[in-house]
């Protein structure tokens, strides 16, 4: 049985989003259990009002809330009884198999690192997300913003973690790892990216070389690794491109009465397009590299979006064994270190 | 009268694209003149076959062609009589007001720099492009791939050049300059980006702060400056997002007979969407920071796309005075240097 711990107070809205999302999620996953963390009395009232299945929900009191603009260090130091932290502590204590929060990303990452610690060999966790692609292919992209000014070794760690997650989820037994770059040739990219290329080629990962951003959706790789600065900009560029194209489609269909009538006839197909690209469907980023599963929901999402984040957490908690990922990452980093040691010895 | 010089042999295809594009362009701009540079006899044959208006076209012989995968240094050293180089030399000699090539980007940039030289104060030229946006707003984005591992000073130079181009084209008298970043707060970003933020704030440019990639199309800025690595990835992410969404729309409209019929009724609107996002319409990147106008066409475009690149070159050549841009850039860089000198004096 999978139990998720939920930071019920997190996000721009808090309870009015997380509670209805919990109800929706439990209707779809009646076998799951939730620990809802936050202000006890407000939580009880909200759950009652939403007619939540109380036999599947444990309320866990927490007196504090991390603000959306609060600095990570402040959250760590001053918010030891925040709904965010207590939710993560449930994972640490083995009470829950994954924690979900719509709280502020920096504080959530800092708290998750502090409470859960990183996997052996991992300097810093990364934020990962599956991008949809042609023919239903999923590509895990990381880091999407946790780490700025990364070293080549760190990007290799991201690649190793991503590869193990894709394996653990049963998506691909030998995931193809690509390096996000501005050309396919080895000589392309920043100094760090060139160093990363060299390391990835020496590694035991199934490295398929550079992947350009114009093949993000082509299924050219199962894992695409990048520095968090670039990854975050890619993620937001995809979001803004989809939004802009959606707005342009609406404009075209409102251009004339004739186009409006065409839009009515095309409504089922247009709704299909809208649903496919509904950002709420892709809500739920994975914090990868921790000794536990933590899922970050978009702060401004609604109940539908937050329910998708819960679903993502359930999926990770069910399929991805942290022990297996940890072992796989350790093995590939050890193999790379051995190759490098051999090389260094040869050079002496 | 505006004359453009055309690298008629450049691109994946060469004459079979550039000559029909020239014919199309001259039909739309009968007042323009073209210098077509390349193999004389092949050019004459192609122009005759295409029934080109020969009174508006001068053929200029060049014996060599720069290969699409040729290294910039090789092009500089071994291809002194290439169609690419001779086309740029027409601008240098004042025979043409802009050069257009679909040849390889690296060689074109190196040759353009070598032949035309950079503007005073500009270390390296940048690749710039106008992104379409909400309510018809255009945003000039640069650098889109010419410069990797840029310094903060270089990114400020890009911002200054972009600002002057937007002014020169009459789009905005006081262009709002944004810095591409992963958050709006000053503390966000890589070390170089943070340094760039500080410099831009000291500058005389109309700096509006960080712009996130999720507002690329919102019209939040008239110029968005970035390192060429990030800028190139953003450009290609937009391309792949639009392509992926287009493919998904087609899939939805083919899902059922009912959807197909809806698609027929919606054809005018759908064609409108297709035309708006036709990448050929946006063909033609500007090499900015040179003592002359050079436009790079996509190497794989067709005659329609290459004609758009010619149109872009015509537009730049007509409106954007290099002298004015040069003066404006020099003024803003001098103003920034003065502020910095004052600061340094204050710190002593």
Label residues A130-166 b or e (16+ Cβ within 10 Å = b).
bbbbeeebbbbbbbbbbbbebbbebbbbbbbbbbbbb
Tokens standing for residue B145: 């791939």
**Alpha carbon of B3: minimum distance to chain A alpha carbons (Å):** 33
Tokens standing for residue B150: 């840029």
Output the average pLDDT for chain B: 95
Neighbours of B148 (CB within 10 A): 18
Tokens standing for residue A329: 């990452």
Read off φ and ψ for residue A212, nearest 5 degrees: -85, 155
Tokens standing for residue B317: 């050549």
The pTM of the full predicted model, rounded to 2 decimals, is 0.94
Are B295 and B174 a contacting pair, CB within 8 Å?
no
| Mean pLDDT (whole number) for A134-144 | 95
ipTM above 0.90, yes or no: yes
Considering only CB atoms, A149 lies closest to which of B148, B190, B234, namely B190
Would you call the peptide bond into B88 cis, given omega within 30 degrees of 0 as the criterion? Answer: no
Q: Does B233 touch chain A (CB under 8 A)?
A: yes
Read off φ and ψ for residue B5, nearest 5 degrees: -100, 135
Contacts of A145 in chain B (CB under 8 A): 182
A258 burial (CB, 10 Å; 0-12 / 13-18 / 19+) is exposed
How many whole angstroms separate alpha carbon B73 and alpha carbon B71? 5
Q: Which helix (H) or strand (E) holds B274?
A: helix B267-276
Q: Beta partners for A98? A: A4, A293
Edge-to-edge strands, sheet with A206-212:
A57-61, A33-38, A3-7, A98-101, A293-296, A285-288, A126-132, A138-142, A223-225, A176-181, A206-212
Neighbours of A80 (CB within 10 A): 14
- Summarize pLDDT for A238-247 with one digit per residue, the tens: 999 999 999 9
Q: Does A272 touch chain B (CB under 8 A)?
A: yes
Tokens standing for residue B185: 């707060």
What is the maximum alpha-carbon separation in chain A? 78
Are A17 and A10 a contacting pair, CB within 8 Å?
no
3-state secondary structure A169-237: CCCCCCCEEEEEECCCCCCCCCHHHHHHHHHHHHCCCEEEEEEEHHHCCCCCCCEEECCHHHHHHHHHH
Output the average pLDDT for chain A: 95
pLDDT of A163 strictly over 80: yes
User: Cβ contact (<8 Å) for A241 and B266?
Assistant: no
Would you state the pLDDT for residue B241?
96
Q: What is residue A5's DSSP assignment? A: E
The residue of chain A with its CA nearest to that of B185 is A69
Are A126 and A143 a contacting pair, CB within 8 Å?
yes
pLDDT band with cut points at 50, 70 and 90 for residue A187: confident
How many whole angstroms separate alpha carbon A171 and alpha carbon A158? 18
Q: Find which of B138, B146, B182, B235 to mutate to test the A interface (most A CBs within 10 Å of its CB).
A: B182
Q: Does B72 touch chain A (CB under 8 A)?
A: no
Tokens standing for residue B295: 């436009």
User: Cβ contact (<8 Å) for B269 and A276?
Assistant: no
pLDDT band with cut points at 50, 70 and 90 for residue A342: confident
Q: Which residues of chain B have pLDDT under 50?
A: none
| Mean pLDDT (whole number) for A32-58 | 98
Q: Beta partners for B139? A: B131
Residue B23: left (phi > 0), alpha (psi -120 to 50), or beta? Answer: alpha
Q: Any idea which residue has 């959706």 for tokens?
A: A217
Residue B289: which of B103, B129, B112 has the closest Cα? B112
Q: Give, rounded to a whole angstrom, the gap between the first and last alpha carbons of chain A.
A: 55
Would you state the pLDDT for residue B296?
97
Q: Does A266 touch chain B (CB under 8 A)?
A: yes
Would you state the pLDDT for residue B191?
96
Residue A94: left (phi > 0), alpha (psi -120 to 50), or beta? Answer: left
How many whole angstroms separate alpha carbon B99 and alpha carbon B290? 12
User: Cβ contact (<8 Å) for A229 and B277?
Assistant: no
Read off φ and ψ for residue B212, nearest 5 degrees: -85, 155
Would you state the pLDDT for residue B348?
63
Would you state the pLDDT for residue B346?
80
How many whole angstroms separate alpha carbon A73 and alpha carbon A114? 11
Read off φ and ψ for residue A130, nearest 5 degrees: -85, 125
Tokens standing for residue B286: 């500007």
In the Cβ-directed half-sphere of A42, how many Cα atoms lie within 13 Å? Answer: 15
pLDDT band with cut points at 50, 70 and 90 for residue A313: very high
Tokens standing for residue B188: 């966000």
Q: Does A232 touch chain B (CB under 8 A)?
A: yes
The residue of chain B with its CA nearest to that of A230 is B230
Q: Any idea which residue has 């850039």 for tokens?
A: B329
3-state secondary structure A310-345: HHHHHHHHHHCCHHHHHHHHHHHHHHHHHHHHHHHH
């Amino acid at each position: 049985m999978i139990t998720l711990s939920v930071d019920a107070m997190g996000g721009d809205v808090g309870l009015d989003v997380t509670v209805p999302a919990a109800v929706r999620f439990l209707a779809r996953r009646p076998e799951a259990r939730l620990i809802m963390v936050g202000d006890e009395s407000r939580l009880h009232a909200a759950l009652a009002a939403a007619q939540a299945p109380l036999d599947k929900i444990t309320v866990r009191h927490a007196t504090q809330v991390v603000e959306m603009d609060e600095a990570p260090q402040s959250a760590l130091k001053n918010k030891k009884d925040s709904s965010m932290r207590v939710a993560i502590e449930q994972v640490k204590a083995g009470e829950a198999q994954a924690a979900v929060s719509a709280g502020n990303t920096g504080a959530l990452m800092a708290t998750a690192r502090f409470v859960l610690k990183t996997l052996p060999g991992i300097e810093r966790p990364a934020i990962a997300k599956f991008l949809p692609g042609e023919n239903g292919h999923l590509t895990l992209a990381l880091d999407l913003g946790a780490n700025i000014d990364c070293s080549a070794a760190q990007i290799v760690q991201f690649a190793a973690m991503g590869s193990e997650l894709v394996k653990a989820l049963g998506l691909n037994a030998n995931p193809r790892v690509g390096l996000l770059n501005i050309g396919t040739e080895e000589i392309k990219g920043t100094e760090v990216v060139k160093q990363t290329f060299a390391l990835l080629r020496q590694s035991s990962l199934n490295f398929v070389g550079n992947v350009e951003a114009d093949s993000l959706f082509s299924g050219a790789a199962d894992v695409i690794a990048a520095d968090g600065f670039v990854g975050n900009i890619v993620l937001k560029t995809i979001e803004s491109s989809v939004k802009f194209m959606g707005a342009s489609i609406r404009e075209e269909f409102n251009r004339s009465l004739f186009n409006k009538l065409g839009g009515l006839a095309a409504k089922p197909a247009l709704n299909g397009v809208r649903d496919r690209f509904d950002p709420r469907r892709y809500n739920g980023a994975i914090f990868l590299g921790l000794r536990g599963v933590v899922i970050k929901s978009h702060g401004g999402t609604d109940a539908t979006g937050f329910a998708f984040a819960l679903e993502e957490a359930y999926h990770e908690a069910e399929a991805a064994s942290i022990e297996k990922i940890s072992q796989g990452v350790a093995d590939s980093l050890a193999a790379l270190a051995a190759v490098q040691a051999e090389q260094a010895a040869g050079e002496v």
